[in-house]
Amino acid sequence: MKNFTSFADAGDYKALLAKALEIKANPYGYQQIGKNKTVGLIFFNPSLRTRLSSLKAAYNLGAQAWVLNAGADSWTLETADGAVMNGGTQEHIKDAIAVMSEYCDVLGVRTFPTLKDKAEDYGEVLFNKIVRYATVPVISLESATLHPLQSFADLITVAETKQKERVKVVLTWAPHVRALPQCVPNSFADWFSEVDWVDFVITHPEGYELDPKFTKGARIEYDQRKAFEGADYIYAKNWSSYRDYGQILSTDPAWMVSEAHMALTDNGKFMHCLPVRRNVVVTDAVLDSPNSLIVREAGNRTFSMQTVLHELLK
Amino acid sequence: MKNFTSFADAGDYKALLAKALEIKANPYGYQQIGKNKTVGLIFFNPSLRTRLSSLKAAYNLGAQAWVLNAGADSWTLETADGAVMNGGTQEHIKDAIAVMSEYCDVLGVRTFPTLKDKAEDYGEVLFNKIVRYATVPVISLESATLHPLQSFADLITVAETKQKERVKVVLTWAPHVRALPQCVPNSFADWFSEVDWVDFVITHPEGYELDPKFTKGARIEYDQRKAFEGADYIYAKNWSSYRDYGQILSTDPAWMVSEAHMALTDNGKFMHCLPVRRNVVVTDAVLDSPNSLIVREAGNRTFSMQTVLHELLK
Amino acid sequence: MKNFTSFADAGDYKALLAKALEIKANPYGYQQIGKNKTVGLIFFNPSLRTRLSSLKAAYNLGAQAWVLNAGADSWTLETADGAVMNGGTQEHIKDAIAVMSEYCDVLGVRTFPTLKDKAEDYGEVLFNKIVRYATVPVISLESATLHPLQSFADLITVAETKQKERVKVVLTWAPHVRALPQCVPNSFADWFSEVDWVDFVITHPEGYELDPKFTKGARIEYDQRKAFEGADYIYAKNWSSYRDYGQILSTDPAWMVSEAHMALTDNGKFMHCLPVRRNVVVTDAVLDSPNSLIVREAGNRTFSMQTVLHELLK
């Protein structure tokens, strides 16, 4: 593994998953890997799970870590190549990333989409620059289009809780009050469409189709109720439209996941990456039910990160 | 010890005090306790002493630590149960706390009072929710009504400096320009009213009576000069009124602790939890005198925290 | 070494440089020095290199570290002696620094000049107070007039890349859109005017003369082209006027370092402390050329800090 930015970087996902389960069973057993290593974490926007799980993962591995809130803690960054920097930006990302690489052995970076410029976002222009300028391995802590550490944690969660050989996993769109990125659903599709023991279904209102390069021909079912039938896992998430880029096309409360929805499943487990707006995306009753895996998923963020750090630092 | 939120949680305070003095004498002697442990620290408002002493305490114990500035670093939290989260809040505290518990072995949390809603503050509504949702032990880094780590550090300070078997300790109100919480005086009374080698006196203008559940029948003396007579320790602090909740009833500069006040004591030591507004609460001359214990108190914050971490992690 | 605030504190600079090169060659070889030690870092303004290189230096040395963003993370500090603190400030720097000293074994502090009050800035009023109130050794992470860790890193960089016994090093002023401190050029002159294998030249437009106490009689050449002739190292930096204190006297783009300028040198290396405004201070072509040392300089910030920590903690 050279960098970790998508499912493709995971290489043999079965081997990586096995390693994650091994690390989770023995979290402090690999500290020779992290000894004298420093993990750098750069955030261009707020974070709770990613920030804290990455720190915990580094510590479990015997490594040190630092966090930089780009902007608040440091300088305003220029991202345009060739810019004459006589305006508000104080440092070019080229220099900032090269320099930060000097202070760590692996660099985790969170960027975010504009949700306005589809070409820029789906070209991963900013993230790819960071990968290019870095002189150490880069881990995506979420980019404009993907969130692979989340999807890997989700895979760990499903793998360790499933009761059957094959399971039906449903990614469902759910309503929200703000226009959100497509990173989590893109990434979930990028991973789960590849898992050979998963029957993967995506359900959403028309107009919410994700980029086919991530859904890879997965079954799309516009009837949410039909999609839920017999499901073992319901993965809820809002996203804004990819087609009408960044737009909110529906706020239909019928798509909010409720106990009535869950009753259609085969005693299905409920998943969400968090943060979640309660009683907008999903009801309290579902979130607080014994079938809710939301806290376990969040806990597995430590182990997806720790496994990736292990691979990049070993 | 299950959590540490008040004097009652301390259990046998004499044993805890003895442990603190032992740890202070040998601060790096307990690192097996902290090995592979992570201390999480969440601040809902600014902090200097608590933040840094908690980090130092964790490091002394061989543990790692992370700090989260709620709001600035992460998402805006919802605290109302059952809320339909279609407004400004992005994550429910129930989920945030459960998730943060996944990334640490003990959770320190600082909240603050509204100073407007007495029932909410004195019910410790927010803090109690945090304790309820946490799945690891919780340490109060100051709540709406108490600041037990401060009081424990104050107890260490008095214990290690006292020259007599029994000492007279006076908690005195002092003026200030802003309405401040009652946490520190409440907590000081909660602890010092219980110490069997302390004669505890509280002095303040009328209307500044603290909640009797914390003063526990301690002697209240409205004449500040009389209270100071023969005192071994003067503990100064401003607070807003508990009776006329959150109000400033007096700014009388005669209550500012000066050398003339200290002259009434039995060569008394001066204490304050800091931050202190110089020449408003107490004069420079008193703060900078050899009898001032303010820096020592702050230093002992490391050892009160380290002792509590030791108890919760052992 | 008692504190590290200027070239004078370095003592025998040749021995310190030799130690730095030894530490760089074996960065994890001195962890007994840092064991159970905590490095405190206080920033009164933003930082990237200093913050991260200081953390890396502490970690390399086996020490722990904490960072405090003064203001954002803690309280508003009062700096005036004898102030009646009934206004906006919440804690006196005297108390804050004494207290922070309790939570670390060495304290790194970054302050900044007003660029308005020359006497206050060049008297290092704030920084000197911090040194006075601290009870642990203090490291300047940049003060109102100097940035010694940067200059020490620059010295390491020149020492490890020079191809000749003696080298010509040119500090050149360059244009900028904002009024900047004189810290970096002052400090560079403070160090490089003393190195016995360096021919040191300073070039800038008239009116940009630095304080003679730092330039120590170094050759000043107002003709930039002439200064560059035969140079082995070009160190570019903008600064505002010391004479017309804090003013911008020139924005002449002819002073921007370009390939044409570098062609005058003896295959000279280009240096800048960063952050740099590209195509304002220096062109992309120079910054991105093989002769650019900017990333190496930044990397050496770890080793200048680590060496200073080693000296202060040993």
User: What is residue C195's three-state secondary structure?
Assistant: coil
Whether residue B224 is contained in a domain is answered as yes
What is the tens place of the pLDDT at every residue in A61-98?
Answer: 999 999 998 766 667 889 899 999 999 889 999 999 99
Mutate to test the interface with B, among C67, C73, C104, C132 (most CBs of B within 10 A): C73
Q: Considering only alpha carbons, which residue of chain A is nearest residue C55? A: A66
In this prediction, the residues of chain B whose per-residue pLDDT falls under 50 are none
What is the tens place of the pLDDT at every residue in A269-285?
Answer: 999 999 999 999 999 99
Give C58→chain B minimum CA distance, Å: 13
Contact A278 B92 (CB under 8 A): yes
User: What pLDDT is stored for residue C59 in this prediction?
Assistant: 98
Residue C163 and residue C271 in one domain: yes
Residue C34 and residue C121 in one domain: yes
CB-nearest to A48 from B38, B74, B87 is B74
Residue C111 and residue C212 in one domain: no
Task: Say how many C-beta atoms besides its own lie within 10 A of residue A97's C-beta.
Answer: 22
Residue B78 near residue B89 (C-beta atoms within 8 A): yes
Integer Cα distance of B80 and B78 in angstroms: 6
SS3 per residue for C51-72 = HHHHHHHHHHCCCEEEEEECCC
Edge to edge, the sheet with strand C106-110 lists C64-69, C38-43, C106-110, C138-140
Residue B294 and residue B306 in one domain: no
What is the tens place of the pLDDT at every residue in B29-67?
Answer: 999 999 999 999 998 777 889 999 999 999 999 999 999
Name the binding residues of A for carbamoyl phosphate: 47-50, 75, 110, 147-150, 273-274, 301
Whether residue A2 is contained in a domain is answered as no
Whether residue B1 is contained in a domain is answered as no
What is the phi/psi pair of residue B82, to 5°? 75, 5
Which residues does B193 contact at the CB level (< 8 Å), separation at least 6?
B200, B214, B215, B216, B217, B218
Interstrand relation of C167-173 and A106-110 (parallel, antiparallel or unpaired): unpaired
B166 marked as binding residue: no
User: What's the token pair of residue B291?
Assistant: 């009898």
Contact B73 A51 (CB under 8 A): yes
Whether residue C2 is contained in a domain is answered as no
Chain A contact set for C52 (CB, 8 A): 40, 66, 68, 100, 103-104
Whether residue A186 is contained in a domain is answered as yes
Nearest to B98 by CA among B71, B129, B67: B129
What is the tens place of the pLDDT at every residue in A242-263?
Answer: 999 999 999 999 999 999 999 9
Which CATH number covers residue B54? Answer: 3.40.50.1370
Q: Over 80: is that where the pLDDT of A161 sits?
A: yes
Nearest to A274 by CA among A235, A224, A307: A235
Residue predicted with more confidence, C150 or A77: C150
User: What pLDDT is stored for residue A73 in this prediction?
Assistant: 63
Whether residue A305 is contained in a domain is answered as yes
What is the tens place of the pLDDT at every residue in C18-53?
Answer: 999 999 999 999 999 999 999 999 987 778 899 999
How open is the CA angle C15-C18-C21, to the nearest 5 degrees? 155
Which residues does B292 contact at the CB level (< 8 Å), separation at least 6?
B269, B270, B286
User: What pLDDT is stored for residue A149 in this prediction?
Assistant: 98
Residue with tokens 């040190």: A64
Contact A92 C59 (CB under 8 A): no
The rounded radius of gyration (Å) of the Cα atoms in chain A is: 19
Residue with tokens 């994650």: A20
SS3 per residue for chain B = CCCECCHHHHCCHHHHHHHHHHHHHCCCCCHHHHCCCEEEEEECCCCCHHHHHHHHHHHHCCCEEEEEECCCCCCCEECCCCCCCCCCCCEEHHHHHHHHHHCCCEEEEECCCCCCCHHHHHCCHHHHHHHHHCCCCEEECCCCCCCHHHHHHHHHHHHHHCCCCCEEEEEEECCCCCCCCCHHHHHHHHHHCCCCCEEEEEECCCCCCCCHHHHCCCEEECCHHHHHCCCCEEEEECCCCCCCCCCCCCCCHHHCECHHHHCCCCCCEEECCCCCCECCCECHHHHCCCCECHHHHHHHHHHHHHHHHHHHHC
Residue C249 and residue C178 in one domain: yes
Q: What number of C-beta contacts closer than 8 Å exist between A and C?
A: 87
Contact A68 C59 (CB under 8 A): no
Identity of the residue numbered A228? F
- Cis peptide leading into residue A275 (ω within 30°): yes
Q: What number of C-beta contacts closer than 8 Å exist between B and C?
A: 87
Which ranges in A169-262 belong to alpha helices (H)?
Answer: 183-192, 212-215, 224-228, 259-262
ipTM reported for the complex, 2 dp: 0.95
CB-nearest to A84 from C279, C287, C294 is C279
CA A263 vs CA A228, A256, A268, A277: distances in Å: 9, 14, 8, 21
Give Cα B303 to chain centroid, integer Å: 13
CB-nearest to C91 from B60, B275, B302 is B275
Integer Cα distance of C21 and B314 in angstroms: 43
H/E element, A128 = helix A125-133
User: What's the token pair of residue B196?
Assistant: 């069997």
Average of pLDDT values for C246-257?
A: 98
C273 marked as binding residue: yes
Q: Chains with ≥3 Cβ pairs under 8 A against A?
A: B, C
Identity of the residue numbered C219? R
Q: What is the DSSP string of C13-49?
A: HHHHHHHHHHHHHSTTTTHHHHTT-EEEEEESS--SH
Range of the domain at A264: 150-298
Helices C294-313 & C13-25 angle (0-180, nearest 10): 110
Chain A contact set for B102 (CB, 8 A): 53, 295, 298-299, 301-302
User: What pLDDT is stored for residue C72 in this prediction?
Assistant: 63
Whether residue B202 is contained in a domain is answered as yes
H/E element, C303 = helix C294-313
CB-nearest to C52 from A84, A92, A103 is A103
Integer Cα distance of A203 and A219 in angstroms: 9
The rounded radius of gyration (Å) of the Cα atoms in chain C is: 19
Residue A288 and residue A309 in one domain: no
Integer Cα distance of B123 and A144 in angstroms: 43
Residue C209 and residue C293 in one domain: yes
Whether residue C117 is contained in a domain is answered as yes
User: What pLDDT is stored for residue A211 in this prediction?
Assistant: 98
Identity of the residue numbered A118? K
What is the tens place of the pLDDT at every residue in C76-127?
Answer: 889 899 999 999 889 999 999 999 999 999 999 999 999 999 999 999 999 9
Chain C contact set for A66 (CB, 8 A): 51-52, 55-56
Integer Cα distance of C130 and C115 in angstroms: 19
Residue B224 and residue B96 in one domain: no
User: What's the token pair of residue B236?
Assistant: 């100064």
Spell out which chain C residues touch chain A, with contact meaning CB-CB distance below 8 angstroms. 27-28, 46-49, 51-53, 55-56, 59-60, 69, 72, 177, 274-280, 284, 287, 294-295, 298-299, 301-302
Residue C171 near residue C232 (C-beta atoms within 8 A): no
What is the tens place of the pLDDT at every residue in A228-239?
Answer: 999 999 999 999
Among A295-309, B45-59, B126-140, C137-151, the minimum mean pLDDT is found in: B45-59
Q: Per-residue confidence at A206, pLDDT binned at 50, 70, 90?
A: very high
Contact A46 B104 (CB under 8 A): no
Give Cα B312 to chain centroid, integer Å: 18
Residue A282 near residue A256 (C-beta atoms within 8 A): yes
Chain C contact set for B60 (CB, 8 A): 36
User: What pLDDT is stored for residue B73 in this prediction?
Assistant: 63
The domain tally of chain A equals 2
B92 marked as binding residue: no
How open is the CA angle B90-B93-B95, to the nearest 5 degrees? 85
Residue A35 and residue A134 in one domain: yes
Contact B55 C38 (CB under 8 A): yes
Residue B306 near residue B57 (C-beta atoms within 8 A): yes
Q: Give the up-direction half-sphere exposure of residue B255: CA atoms within 13 A in the CB hemisphere.
A: 24
Question: What length is written for chain B?
Answer: 314
CB-nearest to C95 from B27, B274, B279 is B274
User: What is residue A43's three-state secondary structure?
Assistant: strand
Residue B110 and residue B158 in one domain: no
Residue A17 and residue A137 in one domain: yes
Edge to edge, the sheet with strand B269-271 lists B219-221, B198-203, B167-173, B233-237, B269-271
Nearest to C257 by CA among C249, C265, C245: C265
Give Cα A141 to chain centroid, integer Å: 7
Mutate to test the interface with C, among B256, B278, B284, B288 (most CBs of C within 10 A): B278
Integer Cα distance of B189 and B211 in angstroms: 10
User: What pLDDT is stored for residue A72 in this prediction?
Assistant: 63
Residue C127 and residue C227 in one domain: no
Integer Cα distance of C270 and C292 in angstroms: 5
Give B207→chain C minimum CA distance, Å: 22
Residue A128 near residue A111 (C-beta atoms within 8 A): no
What does pLDDT average to over chain A? 96
Which residues does B156 contact at the CB level (< 8 Å), separation at least 6?
B17, B20, B21, B24, B300, B303, B304
Chain B contact set for C88 (CB, 8 A): none
